[in-house]
Amino acid sequence: MRDYRKFYIDGEWTDPAIARQIDVINPATEEVAGIISMGSAGDADRAVMAARKAFPSFSQVSRADRIELLQNILAEYQKRYPEIAAAITEEMGAPGWLAQQAQAAIGVGHLMTGIEVLKNYKFEELRGSTLITHEAIGVCAFITPWNWPINQIACKVVPAIATGCTMVLKPSEIAPFSAVLWAEVMHSAGVPAGVFNLVNGDGPTVGAALSSHPEVDMVSFTGSTRAGIEVARNAAPTVKRVHQELGGKSPNIILDDADLNVAVTGGIKSVMMNSGQSCNAPTRMLVPSAKMAQAKEYARAAAEATTVGSPDGNAAIGPVVSETQWNKIQDLIQKGIDEGATLVSGGTGRPEGLERGYYVKPTIFADVTNDMTIAREEIFGPVLAMLPYETEEQAIAIGNDTVYGLAAYVQGDPEHARKVARQLRAGQVNINNAAGDMMAPFGGYKQSGNGREWGDFAFHDFLETKAIIGWGAAEAAE
């Protein structure tokens, strides 16, 4: 059993101010996998002040030295790669193949991308006699979730290091193991004391203390829209920058000229990935009314082919992260049934043969209308809603009829799909299940958040812009 009761503050592993622990549950077995300490406002303050102390010197570190530091972090991360992947499986139930090929792999992706961006990023430019310079914003607080734990740590920490910021990380208390290993990687890589700090704890205590702290210049939060609103409220009195990557209810518009089987099957695979626990999952599938009957058959076959089982095996999906999430998903599946949607496959309860663990049946609803609960609320489980449409204009209107705007998907003739993609109100639109792009900005419209992550766009929110008027005609320094 893992014992992670210390916090990483000012370059050292230190005891919390108050001894309070919780168990971390393995969602595949429902057994205790480890123990962590729950931090207090005092722990958060110590970590913030360590970051504040480190900022003046670290913000002046040269580009070359920051590149070298990120390269050292990458080398140490790669040494610990198998251990990190195993921790992700244990803490949040990702199948071993997914943890290896995607969950842990994306940490390497963000580090490599950040290094390449930093090599050529333009921090200064001369406009006439005015120097425009982009400088590190200061001390950053990171509050990250459990569903893609390393991804959401790396996509914040890497650009923060690259731009010269210092930081405090509060990972999810539900899935904290990989975050502790990340802290060990940072220490082994030689990150200067105080630049990176980790305090475990819950949102109402440590999260609130960080987001309201007067010495924090920026808070970056990934999680639910409800919690994101609380972070913004806590941050408002100190007028700090608030970056949010929040919920989603992404439409997947299957155009009339799409290959229906390929589009439906691919869409379902995307929803089921990571047991449906992705904020950008295409959970609303819009299908031409005339093709709905055939689409249901393709959907049923795809859902029934989605294997569910222990993360240690070769199943397509493992459990969802916790009993709380399992119960929420069950309630929403029942709500779909009660509101009159057609249950194509799946339903409530555990899959046959899985009596222990937080496993959910791959579930497909059809004949869904956009006012139903399952079309409005983010379910965060392996559940898809299929909605019929009569015209392309109606499909676009339905797609945009949501408080969210994180992602959208379009399937069909490429030129046709491009036209539709331009009309969707979302931060990222995927055409024909295109492969991911580490340089593509990620973030949302509307209640899906503020700001962007990934690639060079990730650097922007970690920088303040200064104009020095009268600098003169001399060449701007790098």
Q: Mean pLDDT over all residues of the chain?
A: 97
In this predicted structure, the answer to whether residue 308 has a pLDDT above a threshold of 60 is: yes
Residue range 119-171, pLDDT digits in tens = 999 999 999 999 999 999 999 999 999 999 999 999 999 999 999 999 999 99
* Distance of alpha carbon 147 from alpha carbon 351, whole angstroms: 21
What is residue 434's predicted lDDT score, i.e. its pLDDT?
95
What average pLDDT score do residues 266-291 get? 98
Please report, rounded to a whole number, the percentage of residues in the chain having pLDDT higher than 70.
Answer: 99
What average pLDDT score do residues 388-416 get? 98
Residue range 337-373, pLDDT digits in tens = 999 999 999 999 999 999 999 999 999 999 999 999 9
What is residue 122's predicted lDDT score, i.e. its pLDDT?
97
Residue range 202-239, pLDDT digits in tens = 999 999 999 999 999 999 999 999 999 999 999 999 99
C-beta neighbour count of 334 within 10 angstroms:
12
What is residue 203's predicted lDDT score, i.e. its pLDDT?
96
Residue matched to tokens 């499909």: 395
Residue 245 annotated as catalytic? yes
Positive or negative torsion for Cα 32, 99, 457, 443: negative
- 251: enclosing H helix or E strand: strand 251-254
- Of 279, 378, 392, 453, the active-site residue reads 279
Please report, rounded to a whole number, the percentage of residues in the chain having pLDDT higher than 90.
Answer: 99
- Of 90, 91, 173, 245, the active-site residue reads 245
* Distance of alpha carbon 313 from alpha carbon 455, whole angstroms: 34
What average pLDDT score do residues 290-309 get? 98
In this predicted structure, the answer to whether residue 475 has a pLDDT above a threshold of 70 is: no
In this predicted structure, the answer to whether residue 242 has a pLDDT above a threshold of 60 is: yes
**Residue 98, SS3 per DSSP:** helix
Q: Which domains does the chain have, with CATH numbers?
A: 2-246+446-468 (3.40.605.10), 251-431 (3.40.309.10)
What is residue 445's predicted lDDT score, i.e. its pLDDT?
97
Residue range 65-86, pLDDT digits in tens = 999 999 999 999 999 999 999 9
Q: What are phi and psi of 182, to 5 degrees?
A: -60, -40
